[in-house]
Amino acid sequence: MAEGFEGFGKRLADAVAQRGPLCAGVDPHPALLEAWDLPGGVRGLETFALTATDAIAPHVAVLKPQSAFFEAYGAAGIAVLERVLAHARQAGALVLLDVKRGDIGSTMAAYAQAYLGEDAPLAADAITVSPYLGFGALEPAFAAAEASGRGVFVLARTSNPDGAGLQRADTNGRTVAQSIVDDAARRNAGAVPLGATGVVVGATNRPGELDLTGLNGPILAPGFGEQGATADDLPAVFGDSLPSVLPASSRGLLREGPDATALRAAVLRTQESLLRVACRP
C-alpha cells in the first residue's frame, strides 16, 4: 500500500459515517442531456457531468461515474471524465468508477494500471470489475488496489434480468454468485473495519438469495431508485449486512437537474429515506 495512504475499507467506512451510504451515479445518458435541454456533443456532456458532480459530490460518500457514457465521445469525453474525478475529489467524495473491466494476464494488468495505478490520470478510489473469465483472473486488479489503498467491486448478482440464468447457476452446491461472494470474503478476511474487495448485488434481488454475512466488505446495490427498489426493500434483501450496503441511484437523482438546488434536494431526500431504514429497531 502506498505510504501514508489509508486502505479503501477504512476510508469508505469513514466517508459513510460522515455522509451516509448513498452512492450517487453520474451517467450522462443522451436522454438525460436532452431532458436537461443541453446541446449534443462534448460541450453538453461536460456541462451535464460537471453540473451534476459539483452539485452532488459534496453531499455523498461515493460518486459513481459510468465510464461508457464518457468513452462514447472519444478522447474528448475521457478528458471530461478526468475533470469529473478531480472535481469529486475536491468535494471530498470517494470515486467509484464504473468500468466493469475483466480480462486475463497482461491485459488485466493494463486495465489495473489504468484505473488503480498510483499516477494514472483515470485512477479512482475503486472500480467495478467482471469475474466471468474467472475470479483469479482479476488478481492484477486486486494487487494494484492493495498497493495503492484502493478498492475493487466484483459483479456477483447484478440487477439486470439477463444475469439471472448465469449468476444463479449451480456449481457444486453453490450458485455462481455465491461463489464470487465467498471468494471476495476470503480476500477480506481479518480486515478492519472492512476489506477492500466489494461485491455488486442488486437491490431488486430476492431476499435470502445470497449469504453475505461473511463478506467483511462493501456491497454496491444497483437497482435502487429508478429501477424499482426502495429504501424499505433493503433490509429484506440484505438483512444483517445492511450496514455494509451502498445503495446506488443515478437516473432517480439526475432527472432532477439541471437545477443544482433540485439535485442537492434529491440527494438529501434519498439520504433521509436511507437513514430512516437504518435507524429502525
Query: Can 64 be counted among the known catalytic residues?
Result: no
What does the domain layout of the chain look like in residue ranges?
Answer: 8-203+215-276
- Per-residue pLDDT in tens (0 to 9) along the chain, 281 residues: 444 457 999 999 999 999 999 999 999 999 999 999 999 899 999 999 999 999 999 999 999 999 999 999 999 999 999 999 999 999 999 999 999 999 999 999 999 999 999 889 999 999 999 999 999 999 999 999 999 999 999 999 998 889 989 999 998 899 999 999 999 999 999 999 999 999 999 998 889 899 999 999 999 999 887 777 889 999 999 999 999 999 999 999 999 999 999 999 999 999 999 988 876 65
pLDDT at 202: 94
CA–CA distance, 20 with 8 (Å, rounded to integer):
16
CA–CA distance, 225 with 170 (Å, rounded to integer):
30
For the domain covering 8-203+215-276, report its CATH number: 3.20.20.70
pLDDT at 68: 98
* Annotated catalytic residue within 100, 174, 255, 264: 100
CA–CA distance, 185 with 193 (Å, rounded to integer):
13
Residue the block writes with cell 456532456: 45
* ω into 193 cis (within 30 of 0): yes
pLDDT at 225: 72
User: How much is the pTM?
Assistant: 0.95
pLDDT at 3: 44
pLDDT at 4: 44
